[in-house]
A = this chain, B = another copy of it.
């Protein structure tokens, strides 16, 4: 038994124990000490199910989720994945009285606007994405002032103060990519980094992945040729100038695409009649997986976006109900996918 046993041992009623546990007023200092001592000694832990059973109907836990709008123009919606993870977590926690509302943004302006709307309502927690540094810092400040926990997903970016992040270490992911490509290409080949620039907000992860990639080669003391290509989104990357020359050489080539569009590369390689090239990219979208099946992409790196969403909700729930903040900051492992361990769809 829980609170009842504590009450008996402390010679008080369960009401008083409850007051102590919730730090509410109306308890004499002496009594509080006595109760706290017994709570300590017995190692009492609150039964969250019982607590939520009562509160599920009276005091719901409301969370807001602010993520980019799903664009229907493209067949692959990255942001549907964290959403699915979130919905799975909410389903599991629905009998505990947990609800979420989804908000979406298109740019930094609407991000800030939705953020303020969210804080106008009284949510208990917020899950979002640190796409825009300035606006994310503002949001974090607002949340801190209102004592509302925020979890930032997906994007690797440094904010001013302390904050909760559930995401992959992009630098590390880049190093893994370096390891994988180097294994295939060796020290005698040419390396290319294809960095597709996003118009809406800097995708800082791209730069970090590139840094990590280069750091890997430093770590093994290999001086290889690594060339970066910046390219605008929504246009297939092109190889220009001396790159074409290098691509036409016999030496093996390694191409590291720092975002989810590695699937654009194989066609390009074929049009330049490049063979002996290896490709590593990010994210398990259909096109990438197709290329993997056709041996046109060699490795994909997954950042488990669905799990990120799932973990954020679960972590926030544990924080709000058990003041256990241990799951609010997670490093998502760098998952390596090849044809043989790829999920079938």
Return chain B residues, CB-CB under 8 Å to A52.
49
**A316: min CB distance to chain B, Å:** 16
Contacting chain B: which of A35-43, A145-153, A173-181, A190-198?
A173-181
Contact residue among B53, B180, B183, B340 (Cβ-Cβ distance under 8 Å from A49): B53
List CB contacts (< 8 Å) of A90-126 with chain B.
95-96
Residue interface bits A36-75, CB-to-B below 8 A is 1, else 0 = 0000000000011110110001000000000000000000
Q: How far is the CA of A47 from the CA of B56 in the complex (A)?
A: 11
Q: How far is the CA of A48 from the CA of B56 in the complex (A)?
A: 13
Q: How far is the CA of A179 from the CA of B184 in the complex (A)?
A: 11
Return chain B residues, CB-CB under 8 Å to A178.
340
Return chain B residues, CB-CB under 8 Å to A184.
183-184
**A133: min CB distance to chain B, Å:** 27
Q: Is the CB of A201 closer than 8 A to any CB of chain B?
A: no
- CB <8 Å contact, B183 and A47: no
30 inter-chain pairs at a CB distance below 8 angstroms, sorted by A residue, are A1-B57, A47-B53, A47-B95, A48-B95, A49-B52, A49-B95, A49-B96, A50-B53, A53-B53, A172-B340, A172-B341, A175-B340, A176-B338, A176-B340, A176-B341, A179-B338, A179-B339, A179-B340, A180-B338, A183-B184, A184-B184, A220-B295, A333-B341, A334-B341, A335-B335, A335-B336, A335-B341, A336-B336, A336-B337, A336-B338
